[in-house]
A and B are shown apart, each in its own frame.
Chain A
Amino acid sequence: MHKKFIAIFCLALQSVGSHAAGLVGNVTDSDGQAVADAVISLMPLNRNHLPPLDTVQMAKMDQWQKQYVPYDLPVLVGAEVSFPNKDNIKHHVYSFSQAKRFELKLYSGINAEPVLFDKPGVVVLGCNIHDWMLGYIYVLETPYFVKTDDTGHMVIENVPDDDYIVSVWHPRLRGTTKEHDQKISLQGQTASSVSFTIKLKRERRRRRLPDFEVEEY
């Protein structure tokens, strides 16, 4: 479902740039395992080359079966994210992150107002009722980003020819994003490729799950 969302988003970009380039890449962990849900983003060396923000971005973080879906959600700064509750119980969404401190107290359905993420950074989402619920909203300053699929691969198309810094982020990233940054120059039709190897922190989500719900996940 989210792949479809990215595809639509990319088609929109294509119409803006005069020339468009592509980038393929993959992310693996230190054990050589494919890393899914990693966010790869491209930031032009010259930030003035960023396209202007003319429309409000809309995104959605579902709460389904007492989990945030998706696990992590990259958004462009200024995006408004809605938190539809698809469970038949109430949730209490909160974030103590500096990028966005907010809480959505005990609600169900979609009656919660979308939340504006106007500062770049990582916003960690929790639920005050269900301690194990964990989700991330990654607020980016660049529109060129994509998540790796289950095989750890990703493709970015229709990026204007330019010099970029390619960054990687993951909820369980050990260390900083900056230390993994790579410079890349995208030119013409040929697709460039990038590869990241990152270290991961332990998975916290599963540990917090009561046993009886493991099977459901």
Chain B
Amino acid sequence: MFRSFQARLASIFVGLFFLVLLVTFFAVYKATTYNVVGQIKEQLIYSNGTFERHLSDRAKRLSENAAILTADYAFREAIAAHDPATSLSVIRNLGARIRADRIMLVSLEGTIIADTRRPAQSPVDFPYMPLIETAEENDIAESIIVLDERLYDFVIVPVLAPIPIAWIGIGIEVDNAMTHDLRSLSPLALDISFLQHQDRQGWRVIASTLHPSLQDALPDVLSATAIPLADVNVSDRDMPHLKNGVSPNIRRLAGNDYVTLVTSRLTPAYSPPAIALLQYPLEKALSAYQPMFFWLKVLSVLGLLFSALGCILVARSISKPVLTLVDAASRIEHGDYQQAIQLKQKDELGRLALAFNGMMDAIAEREEKILYQAHHDSLSGLPNRLQLEQTLREQINQATHKKEKLAVILIKIERLHEINNTLGHQIGDQLILKIRDRLLLLSRQGDTLAHLTKNTFILLSAGTATDEFLLLAKKVKGLFEEPCAIDDINVDIHLRLGLSFFPQHGDSSKALIQKADVAMYSALQAGKPFAIYDSEKDTFRRDHLSLMSELRQGLLNDELELYYQPKIDLLKNVVTHAEALVRWNHPTKGFMSPDTFIPLAEQSGHINKLTIWALEHAIRQCSTWNKNGHDMSIAVNISVKDLLNKALPDIIVTMLSQFQLGAECLVLEVTESSIMNDPEIALSVLTKLHGLGLRVSIDDFGTGYSSMEYLKKLPADILKIDKSFVMDLAQNKDDEILVRSMIQLAHNLGLKVVAEGIEDEKALAILSTNSCDYVQGFFISRPLPVDAFNEWLNTSTWGGRQAVS
């Protein structure tokens, strides 16, 4: 509800203050009311006593007067005359003398002989004989009684002559005039009402000082409080006055509260019940205190306002510095550590601000450190990829303005892994630092040298011509003709460089770096020291990517086919081997050269599927040939990526058993360069395959940098001399020497030798002379589809048909 601290604090304190005020006000009001009501109650009780005495006195006076008058001789004589008309006039006269409201003459037998209120009435019995009996005893009886639904203070006295000869009843009616008289006796302007109860109608107002409109509600006051008449213990002979009243309390009348005293029953038990009500309006009683209540309210409201104001000021004095701190925290969040928080307070918040400032400095320092680490290589201290990309972006912008060119030269240290393994990481790290130092010597003003991965640097250079960059690349290469000396060890450094240019090859830092990487890879593929990016060889090009997905589809749709090229055993002069070569008849692009899609498949990881496909088809075909009586082995080319597939040996074993082909009939051809790329893994996988009884052939021998030492370790069975040495064999004497040496070397190592690229008979003769074991080439046969190969087997002199038959 209250989001801000300020509002909450203010609302809590103002709320509490309000509560205290409320309680105080309530308490004062209650105490005052209690006090006032108490006073009014006392007044009512006092007035009740006064009224009681007043009525009593009045009755006494009345009876005394009556006694004197009834003792008058003429009066008695008239009464004794027993003449109704005379009697009536006599009592009327008496009534006038003593100012009574009603006079009755009652015979000794209890018959009303004359009644001033009912002059024409024939004699009836006086209804309240107990009253007369009292008068007989005491010569006077007085009571409040109901007669003809009127309420009277009634006195009975005898007419003595000298013993009673009749009774005189004298009634003072309790009417409105009397209630006003009674009220005037009280210092308090209270209201007095008399009510009478009839069995059928309930309570009925007989007389009251109340306004007539209020009188109608009076019976409700009584019925609501339900005064049980049984409670009124009045014996027949009691003369109850307004005594033994129920203790006063507050009752509601027509929506207003009155302090009310209800008397006990006024009439004796033989007369219908009547009671009196003494009332004083509470509002009037409290009116004297109204100004006090008013000022109390005014003071309360003022107090509330001041406390609210105070709370807001206090809350603000807290929340303002807090908001300052919040702002500062928000600034820190957004990386602004420059602005220190200015709080002059010396309190907790001031200390908090100081802590904030300290924290800010510490964060800034740490961030700077992290930032540096994030942007620099921890070993060389050179900018890392992150920093390079940023720098490159800036340089691209500058170059765009200056219309300059940029070169991204990716420099990869080859065989670093080997060096680490052989000489240890410490030497490896030192080597990296040496290389860094040499590269830094070369870099010109404005060039940037970055350290991308452990074995990769990038030299960023700006210039105007491509030749300039090529020169630089050559210079880099030239730097490392000298080996590096570390702890008296001379280490040869082999670098492979890839170049990409801005704007030629891209306009984003990421693209340029990637393309330099692609160029480096293509240099590696081509066995060259450096290469400039060539989009044709870029497997990451979009069209190349789509070609790969088409290849996957092609494998399923039988778009690929194996061609077989025969290999002749020169000793037997017959075909004993065939090399399986994959061909792809692309549905839209037509016939595709393996040189186009195999490198792409290698890089994109599709090569595994392709190899398994080729193995399956080749093994099955070879098995068919063997079953047909041809003693044939099959050679399948394996990519270096296949060597990373650990499941490969199992798959091959399964296939061999499936097609019932001996393991010795399967030759796996692996290129020299691919082995040298990751010799360790290649070595382990090849050893495993060799252990299965397969034969391993080193393809394209002579093009790589494989050392003799390494060659010795390889679990190879066959060496395949690259066609570049064979094709010109007939014409080139050097090649012949080289080939001869290679054959001798291989034989010395216990390896068979295959020469590929035989194009003429002379070359065949030379090889045969030099004890080459197998040959293959166009001179013998170009690669053929299965049907054509079978035909060739049947027709060729090397087909072995004769041998078989």
Give residues in A with beta carbon < 8 Å to B. 94, 96, 101, 124, 126-128, 131-134, 202, 204, 207-208
A126 touches B137 (CB 8 A): no
Residue in B73, B80, B163, B165 whose CB lies within 8 Å of A128? B73
Q: Is residue B695 contacting chain A, with contact meaning CB distance below 8 A? A: no
Is B71 an interface residue, CB under 8 A from the partner?
Answer: yes
Assess whether A204 is in contact with B162, with CB atoms less than 8 Å apart: yes
Complex alpha-carbon distance, A124 and B165, angstroms:
10
A101 to B165, CA, bound (A): 14
With a cutoff of 8 Å between Cβ atoms, the chain A residues found around residue B165 in the complex are 96
Give Cα A96–Cα B139 distance, bound, in whole angstroms. 19
A48, B444: Cα distance in complex, Å: 189
Is B442 among interface residues, defined by CB-CB distance under 8 A?
Answer: no
Q: List 13 A-B contacts (CB under 8 A).
A: A96-B76, A96-B161, A96-B165, A124-B162, A124-B163, A126-B160, A126-B162, A127-B162, A131-B71, A134-B163, A202-B137, A207-B139, A208-B162
A131 and B160 contact, CB distance less than 8 A: yes
Tell yes or no: B236 within 8 A of A by CB.
Answer: no
Chain A: which residue is nearest B81 at the CB level?
Answer: A96
Q: Is B650 located at the chain interface by the 8 A CB criterion?
A: no
Instruction: Contact check, B161 vs A124: say whether CB atoms are below 8 A apart.
Output: yes
Query: Nearest-CB distance from B70 to chain A (Å)?
Result: 11
Determine the chain A residues whose CB is within 8 A of the CB of B137 once the complex forms: 202
Point out which of B71, B77, B163 has the most chain A C-beta atoms below 10 A from its C-beta: B163
Nearest 9 pairs between A and B by C-beta?
A96-B80, A126-B162, A96-B161, A128-B73, A134-B162, A126-B161, A124-B163, A131-B162, A204-B163
**A133–B80 alpha-carbon span in the complex (Å):** 18
Cα–Cα distance between A204 and B139 once the two chains are bound (Å): 10
In the complex, per-residue mask of B352-381: 1 if CB is within 8 Å of any chain A CB, else 0: 000000000000000000000000000000
With both chains docked as a complex, state the minimum distance between the C-beta of A136 and any C-beta of chain B, in angstroms.
Answer: 9
Query: Is there an interface contact between B71 and A96, defined as CB atoms closer than 8 Å?
Result: no
Partner-A contacts on B (CB < 8 A): 71, 73, 76-77, 80, 137, 139, 160-163, 165
Which residues of A are found within 8 Å of B73, using beta-carbon distances?
Answer: 94, 128
Q: Using Cβ atoms and an 8 Å threshold, which residues of chain B touch A101?
A: 80
CB of A157 to closest CB in B, whole Å: 33
> Which of A96, A127, A134, A202 counts the most chain B CB atoms within 10 A?
A96
B160 proximity list for chain A (CB < 8 A):
126, 131
Complex: A132 Cα to B71 Cα, angstroms? 11
For residue B80, which residue of chain A has the nearest CB? A96
Residues of chain A lying within 8 A (CB to CB) of residue B76:
96
A96–B163 touching, CB < 8 Å: no
Residues of B within 8 A of A133 (CB): 162
Nearest CB of A to B160, in Å:
7
The answer for the CA separation of A211 and B80 in the assembled complex, in Å, is 29
Q: CA–CA, A208 to B76, complex, Å?
A: 17
Q: How far is the CA of A202 from the CA of B135 in the complex (A)?
A: 12
* B80 contacts across to A, CB distance below 8 A: 96, 101
Q: Which of B71, B139, B162, B165 gathers most chain A CB within 10 Å?
A: B162
State the CA gap A207–B139 with chains docked (Å): 10
Which chain B residues border A132 with CB–CB below 8 Å?
162
A202 CA to B164 CA, complexed, in Å: 12
Instruction: For residue A3, give the distance in angstroms from its CB to the closest CB of chain B.
Output: 27
In angstroms, Cα B80 to Cα A126, docked, is 13
CA distance A94 to B161 in the complex (A): 9
* A205 nearest in chain B by CB position: B162
Task: Looking at the assembled complex, report how far the CB atom of A61 sits from the nearest CB atom of chain B, in whole angstroms.
Answer: 15
Q: State the Cβ distance, A100 to closest chain B Cβ, in Å.
A: 12
Task: Tell me the complex Cα distance, A128–B160, Å.
Answer: 11
| A132–B139 alpha-carbon span in the complex (Å) | 13
Which residues of chain B are near A134, meaning CB under 8 Å?
Answer: 162-163
Nearest CB of B to A178, in Å: 16
Docked complex Cα distance between A172 and B80 (Å): 20
**Nearest opposing residue in chain A for B73, CB measure:** A128
Q: Which of B73, B137, B161, B165 has the most CB of A within 10 A?
A: B161
Closest chain-B Cβ to A194's Cβ sits at a distance in Å of 28
Complexed CA–CA distance, A127 and B161 (Å):
9
CB nearest to A134 among chain B residues? B162
Cα distance, A124 to B160, chains bound together (Å): 11
A132 to B161, CA, bound (A): 10
Give the complex CA separation of A101 and B80 in angstroms.
Answer: 10
Distance to closest chain B CB from A45 (angstroms): 30
Q: Taking CB as reference atom, which chain B residue is nearest A128?
A: B73
Q: How far is the CA of A207 from the CA of B164 in the complex (A)?
A: 14
Q: A96-B76, A124-B163, A127-B162 are in contact. List 11 more A-B contacts (CB 8 A).
A: A94-B73, A94-B161, A96-B77, A96-B161, A124-B161, A126-B160, A128-B73, A131-B162, A133-B162, A204-B162, A207-B139
Instruction: State A126–B163 Cα separation when bound (angstroms).
Output: 8
Cα A134 to Cα B162 with chains together (Å): 7
Query: With a CB–CB cut-off of 8 A, which chain B residues contact A204?
Result: 162-163
* Closest A residue by C-beta to B82: A98
- Nearest residue (CB) in B for A208 is B162
A101–B78 CA distance with the chains assembled, in angstroms: 13
**What residues of chain B lie closer than 8 Å to A124, measured between beta carbons?**
161-163
The interface residues of chain B lying within 8 Å CB-to-CB of A128 are: 73
Q: How far is the CA of A18 from the CA of B713 in the complex (A)?
A: 200
Q: Closest CB of chain A to B129's CB: distance in Å?
A: 16
Q: How far is the CA of A202 from the CA of B137 in the complex (A)?
A: 8
- Determine how close the nearest CB of chain B comes to the CB of A187; give it in whole angstroms: 40
A133 to B77, alpha carbons, bound, how many Å? 17
Closest to B160 in A: A131
Bound CA span A138–B73, Å = 23
- Bound CA–CA A204/B71 (angstroms): 15
Residue of A nearest to B162 (CB): A126
A62 to chain B, nearest CB (A): 17
User: How many angstroms from the CA of A18 to the CA of B71 in the assembled complex?
Assistant: 52
Chain A, residue nearest B164 (CB): A204
Report the minimum CB–CB distance from A200 to chain B (whole Å): 13
Q: Which of B71, B73, B139, B165 has most A Cβ within 10 Å?
A: B73
Cα–Cα distance between A133 and B160 once the two chains are bound (Å): 11
Q: How far is the CB of A124 from chain B (nearest CB, A)?
A: 6
- Report the separation of the CA atoms of residues A127 and B760 in the bound assembly, to the nearest whole angstrom: 198
Question: What are the residues of chain B within 8 A of A126 when measuring CB–CB?
Answer: 160-162
Q: How far is the CA of A208 from the CA of B139 in the complex (A)?
A: 11
Question: Which A residues lie within 8 Å of B162 (CB)?
Answer: 124, 126-127, 131-134, 204, 208
CB distance from A202 to the nearest CB of B (A): 7
Q: How far is the CA of A19 from the CA of B76 in the complex (A)?
A: 49
CA distance A67 to B80 in the complex (A): 23
Residues of B within 8 A of A131 (CB): 71, 160, 162
Report how far A101 CA is from B161 CA in the complex, Å: 12
CB distance from B168 to the nearest CB of A (A): 15
- Point out the residues of chain A lying under 8 angstroms from B71, CB to CB: 131
List of B residues within 8 angstroms of A207 by Cβ: 139
Nearest Cβ in chain A — how far from B79, in angstroms?
8
Nearest B-chain residue to A201, judged by Cβ: B136
* Min distance, Cβ B175 to any Cβ of chain A, angstroms: 35
CB nearest neighbor in B for A171? B163
- State A134–B164 Cα separation when bound (angstroms): 12
**What is the CB-to-nearest-CB distance from B389 to chain A, in angstroms, rounded to a whole number?**
140
A127 to B71 Cα, complex, angstroms: 11
Across the interface, which residues of B come within 8 angstroms of A127, CB to CB?
162
How distant is A105 from chain B, measured CB to nearest CB, in Å? Answer: 10
Q: Min CB distance, A42 to chain B, in Å?
A: 27
Docked complex Cα distance between A94 and B80 (Å): 12
State in angstroms the CA–CA spacing of A96 and B163 once bound together. Answer: 10
Closest beta carbon of chain B to A176's beta carbon, Å: 13
A208 to B163, CA, bound (A): 11
Taken together as a complex, chains A and B put the C-alpha atoms of A108 and B464 apart, in Å, by 181
From A125, which residue of chain B is reached at the shortest CB distance? B162
Q: State how many angstroms separate the Cβ of B166 from the closest Cβ of chain A.
A: 10
Q: Please report the C-alpha to C-alpha distance between residue A145 and residue B161 in the assembled complex, in whole angstroms.
A: 27
Cα(A159)–Cα(B160), bound, Å:
39
A101 to B77, CA, bound (A): 10
Nearest CB to that of A130 among chain B residues?
A: B162
Q: How far does the alpha carbon of A128 sit from the alpha carbon of B162 in the complex, in Å?
A: 9
In whole angstroms, how far apart are the Cα atoms of A131 and B161 in the complex? Answer: 8
**In the bound complex, CA of A204 to CA of B77 (Å):** 20
